[in-house]
A and B are shown apart, each in its own frame.
Chain A
Amino acid sequence: MATQTLNHADAHHDAAHDEEHHPGLAHHFDNMEQQRDSGTLGMWVFLVTEIMFFGGMFLAYMLFRASNPNEFAAGSYQLDVLLGGINTAVLIGSSLTMALAVFFAQTGNKSLLVLFLLATILLGFVFLGIKAVEYGTKFSHGTIPGRNFKVEHKKMEEYEEHHHGDAAANVDPARLQMFFVIYFMLTGVHALHMIIGIGVMSVLVFFALRNRYSPEYHSHIELAGLYWHFVDIVWIFLFPLLYLIGRH
C-alpha cells in the first residue's frame, strides 16, 4: 500500500504538468463540462429552495386573503400602483440587460459584458430607490404594522367611496394590518434578494474587468443570470397579488 500511495502522489504531480488544464478548472472536476453542469444544477436546486422559502409567505398570503378579503382589497388600494408598475417595467428591463450580459459573456465581448452588467446593477438600484420612496410614504403615514399601526384615511375614504353600498366596503381597520404585514414581509425579503444580487454582480464586474471570463469559462455570469431572472419572476407574481387586487 505504501508504494501505491507514494506512486499516487507522483502520478498526481505529473498529471498536473502533463495535461493542459484551464486555469478556471477546479481540482476535483475532470473537465470543464462537468464543472459547468455541476454549477448549473446547483443553481437550479438552490432556486427550488428559494421557491419553498417564498412559498411559505405565499401560503400565508393565501390564507389571510381568504379570511380577510375586504381588508386585502382595501390595503391593496392604498399602494401606489403607478410606482409599482414602473418598478415592474424596470425589473423586466433589467432581466433583458442581464440576458444580454450572458450573451456577451458567451461570445467573449468583454466591454459589452461589463456594460450590461453595470446596466443591470443600475436598474436594480432604480428599483430599490422607487421601493424606498414607497416605503417612505408608508412610514410617513404610519401604515406600519405593529402597535402604532395607522390607516391612511384619505385613501381609505377613496376606497369606500369607490365601493359605496358594496359589501366590499365593509373593512375592519384592525385587520387591515394583516395585508401590510404580508406586504412588508414579501417585498422586504424580495428587496433583500435584489441587494444580494447587486452585490454578486458587482463582484462579477470586478472579475470581468480582470479578464477572468472567456467563451469557455463564464458560468458565474450564467448562474448570476438565473438568480436574477428568478428574483424578477418573484416580482411578476408579487405585483398583481399586492398592487392590483383592490382595483376593480
Chain B
Amino acid sequence: MSSINSPFDKPFEQPVDSPGGRMRPVPAERNYLNADYSVRSWLLTKDHKRIALLYLFSVSFFFFIGSIYAMLIRLELLTPKGDLVQAATYNKLFTHHGIIMIFLFLIPSIPAILGNFLVPLMIGAKDLAFPKINLLSWYLYMIGAVIVSSAIMIGGVDTGWYFYVPYSSNFSNTYVTLAGLGIFVLGFSSILTGLNFIVTTHTMRAPGMTWFRLPLFIWSHYATSLIMLLGTPVIAITLLLLVFERTFHVGIFDPTIGGDPVLFQHLFWFYSHPAVYIMLLPGMAIISEIIATFSRKNIFGYKFVAFSSIAIAVFGFLVWGHHLFSSSQSVFAGMIFSFISFAVAVPSAIKVFNWTATLFRGSISYDTPMLYALGYIGLFAIGGLTGLFLASLGMDVHLTDTYFVVAHFHYVMVGGTLLAYLGGIHYWWPKITGRLYPEGWGRFSALIVFVGFNLTFFPQFLLGFLGMPRRYHAYPPEYQVLNVLSSAGASILAIGFTIPLIYLLWSLRYGPKATDDPWMATGLEWRTSSPPPTENFVETPIVTWEAYEFAPQETMKVVGKLTPDDKPDRSSYSGN
C-alpha cells in the first residue's frame, strides 16, 4: 500500500498499452468514470468530477451554438450592404451571440469545468465542501440555460447582451423579461460555485497544504470566487429591477417619473466589469500551471503571482466607470475611473512578466498546452494594452462603440480565456479521461486557432480606429477589405475549434492510455491515478513539498537518447 507523500513511492514505469494492446478488455481498475454506468448515477451524482463533466457537455454545446451566431454575423459583414439579414434580425444575432457566449459559455467554462474537477484534487480533498450544492449549481445552470434558450427560440432578444435601458425597458418588444429571468437563475449557479470554492479552499486542504503551497490555479480560482460572490448578486438585483420595470411599468430607470437610466449602467457594470475578471482569472490560473510544467521550473515570484490575482479581483470592482465615459458621467469621476483602470494593468503585467521570467532558462517543451499558453501571453498582452487605450478618457471618446472595442475584448476573451481553456482541456485531458490526445493534431490545431484568431480580430482594431461603429449590419464600402479578412479568419478559427472536438472525442476510444502523470508535473492531481478514483486519493495525502518543486537543472541527468518527442526525464521531478 503506497502512500503518495512522495512521488518516488509511485512506480516509475507505468504500464502503457502498446498499439496492439488497445483491444484488451477494460481493466478492472475502479475510477470515477466506470464506478457506475447508469444515467441516474450521472444525473444525481455528487462527485465533483462527474459534475465537471456534466458542465463540460452542456457548456461545450452552448459554445457551438454561440459560434453559429458569430458565423452568421461574420457572414453578414462580408458585404457592405445589409443583404443577408435585416437590421432587426442582426440586432438579435449579436445579442444572442453575446448572451450565449458570456453567460452560458465564458463565465461557467473554466471554473465550472476545470475548477470543479481540479480544486479538490489540487488541495488533496475528497470533494468540494458542499457536493449537493455543487450538483444544484449545475441544475440551476441548466434551468437558466433552458429559460434563455426558450427566450431565443420564441422570438429572441434585440437589446444587446448588456440590456441597456431604455432599449430593454420601454422600447423593446422582444423577450427581455424571459432572458433576464434566465440570467438571474444562471447567476445563482455562479454564486453557488464560487461559495463552494471559497469554503473548500479554507476548510478542505490536505494536511501540510499551506496557503503558500497551493497551486496558483487555486489562488486564481479563489480570487474568481470572490468576484462571483460579491458581483453576481448585484446583477441579479439589477435584472430583477428591470423585470419589475417591464412587468409593472414602474419607473426605476425611467427619467420621466424620477428614475435614472444611468443607474442601470452603473449597477450593470458594477457586476459586468468584474465579470470580465471572472472570465479572465481562471484563464490565468491555467496558464500559471502550464508555464511552470512545460518550462520545468518553479513559477517566478510565486507570491507576486498569487497576490496579483487577489489584487485584480479587488481593483476589478473599482473600475466599472470606464464603461460610462460617454454616458453623462462627470469628467472628474471619469478621471478617477481612468486612473484606477490603469492601475489594474499593474497586477496583470506582474503576471505576464512573471510567466515570461519563468520561461527564462527553463527546459521548454512545446506540447499543445504550452503552445496555447504562449499564444495566450502574446494575445492577452495585446488585449490588455489596447484596454489602456480605452481607459484613456480622450482616446475613448474616439474609440467608444467602434470595432476597436470589439477587437479589444475579443483579444482578452477569446485570445485570452478561450485559448487558456483549450490549453487547460488538453493539459488535464489525460487526467480527466485517462487517455492521451494525438499530440500532432493538437499542435496543428493550436496553430490554426492562433492564425485564425489573429486574422479575425486584428483587422477589427484597424476598422475601429478608422471609425467603423459596432452593432450595424451595413457599412461603407471602403471598410470591405478588412471585413473580408476578418470573416475569412473566422472561418479558419471555426476549423481550428472543430479539429480538437473531433480528435478529443476520437481519443476517448482510440487514444493511448495515459499514465498517472504524463507531463511529470508536480501537483497533487498528478499523484493519483488517471482517471482518479471516486474518492480522489487512496489515502488523504500529506503535503511536504512546495508548489512547482522541480529539481534544479544542475542535478538533472540525461537518460537515454534525446529525441524531439522525449519528455524531460524524471530527474527534473522532485516532490520533497
> In the assembled complex, which residues on chain A have CB atoms less than 8 Å from the CB atom of B251?
145, 177-178, 181
> Which residues in B have some Cβ–Cβ distance to A below 8 Å?
1-2, 11, 14-15, 27-31, 125-131, 191, 195-196, 198-200, 202-204, 229-234, 236-238, 240-241, 244, 248-252, 257-260, 263, 267, 516, 529, 533, 535, 538-540
A interface, by DSSP: helix, strand, loop or mixed?
helix
Q: Kindly state the separation between the CA atoms of A11 and B535 in the bound complex, as whole angstroms.
A: 12
Contact between B28 and A56 (Cβ–Cβ < 8 Å)? no
> Which residues of B lie under 8 Å from residue A63 when comparing CB positions?
260, 263
Q: Is the CB of A146 within 8 A of B202?
A: no
- Residue A68 lies at the interface, judged by CB distance under 8 Å to chain B: yes
Decide if A6 is an interface residue (CB 8 Å cutoff). yes
Is B250 within 8 A of A68, CB to CB?
no
Bound complex: CA A53 to CA B237 (Å): 6
The 10 closest A-B pairs by CB, nearest first: A56-B237, A53-B233, A28-B127, A175-B258, A52-B233, A28-B126, A145-B250, A8-B538, A178-B258, A38-B129
Q: A20: CB under 8 A from chain B?
A: no
Question: A37 in the interface, Cβ–Cβ < 8 Å?
Answer: yes
Which listed residue, B27, B240, B258, touches A177 by the CB 8 Å rule?
B258
Contact between A174 and B250 (Cβ–Cβ < 8 Å)? no
Set of chain B residues within 8 Å of A5, measured between Cβ atoms: 29-31, 529, 533, 538
**Pair A185/B244 contact, Cβ less than 8 Å:** yes
Residues of A within 8 A of B240 (CB): 189
- Cα distance A122–B27 when bound, in Å? 59
Contact assessment for A60 and B249 in the assembled complex, using a CB-CB cutoff below 8 Å: no
Contact yes or no, A52 B241, CB < 8 A: no
Q: Once A and B bind, how many residue pairs between them come within 8 Å at the CB atom?
A: 142
Give me 15 other A-B pairs in contact (C-beta within 8 A), A38-B199, A178-B259 excluded.
A2-B27, A2-B29, A4-B2, A5-B29, A5-B529, A27-B127, A28-B131, A30-B540, A37-B203, A41-B198, A41-B199, A42-B129, A49-B195, A54-B237, A57-B241
Nearest Cβ on chain A to B189's Cβ, whole angstroms: 13
Q: Is the beta-carbon distance between A41 and B202 smaller than 8 angstroms?
A: yes
Complex alpha-carbon distance, A12 and B244, angstroms? 53
For residue A67, CB closer than 8 A to chain B, the reply is yes
Residues of B close to A45: CB separation below 8 A: 195, 198-199, 229
Residues in A with CB closer than 8 Å to B129 are 28, 38, 42
Whether the Cβ atoms of B257 and A177 lie closer than 8 Å is: yes
Closest partner residue, chain B, to A10 (CB atom): B1
Using A48-B230, A49-B233, A60-B252 as known contacts, say yes or no to A174 and B538 having CB atoms under 8 A apart.
no
Structural contact, B191 and A49, CB atoms closer than 8 A: yes
Residues of chain A within 8 A (CB-CB) of B125 are 28
B258 & A67 in contact (Cβ 8 Å cutoff): yes
Q: Which residue on chain A has the smallest CB distance to residue B538?
A: A8
Quote the shortest CB–CB distance from B4 to chain A (angstroms).
9
Report A-chain residues with C-beta under 8 Å of the C-beta of B237.
Answer: 53-57
- CB contacts (< 8 Å) of A38 on chain B: these are 129-130, 199-200, 202-204
Judge whether B538 and A11 touch: CB under 8 Å. Answer: yes
Question: CB < 8 Å: which of A34, A56, A60, A178 contacts B233?
Answer: A56
Contacts of A185 in B (CB 8 A): 241, 244
Contact B260 A53 (CB under 8 A): no
Shortest distance in angstroms between A28's beta carbon and chain B's nearest beta carbon? 4
A59 at the interface (CB under 8 A from B): yes
CB distance from B316 to the nearest CB of A (A): 14
B211 to chain A, nearest CB (A): 15
